[in-house]
Amino acid sequence: MQFVALAWWQAGGGGFGGLGGFLLPLMLMFGIMYFLVLLPQQRQRKKTQEMLGAIKNGDKVMTTSGIYGTINGIDGDTIILKVADNVKIRVARAAIGQVEASEDAK
């Protein structure tokens, strides 16, 4: 009986066979990767772009390198950040990691 089952399996009678047996698991893996990796990454990127587009003078921010400061001026893709009295630095807009608070919110 085992010999008959082995011969039937070797002849291609078992499993998915052909191209469908290869493509179905591949599409399933891509679908899982999309929902677990790519979709959350796109949502995070959209959220970050909205945050960078909404910053304004007076917002307290933290840069991606950990520098805290208040936005003193916006010049296109660069921001003038006041980090202490009489100390201002120029950073890229993309270097803003998060907005802490706004002066208007107080």
- Higher confidence at residue 83 or residue 3? 83
- As a whole number, the mean pLDDT across the chain is 83
Q: Which residues of 62-95 are buried (b: 16+ CB within 10 A; e: fewer)?
A: ebeeeeebbbeeeeeeebbbbeeeeeeeebeeee
pLDDT at 9 over 90: no
Q: Using an 8 Å Cβ cutoff, are 70 and 59 in contact?
A: yes
Which tokens belong to 89? 């630095």
Q: Using an 8 Å Cβ cutoff, are 91 and 63 in contact?
A: yes
pLDDT, tens only, 14-26: 555 566 677 888 8
pLDDT, tens only, 50-72: 999 999 999 999 999 999 999 99
Regarding pTM above 0.85, the answer is no
Q: DSSP code of 57?
A: T
Which tokens belong to 38? 């790519």
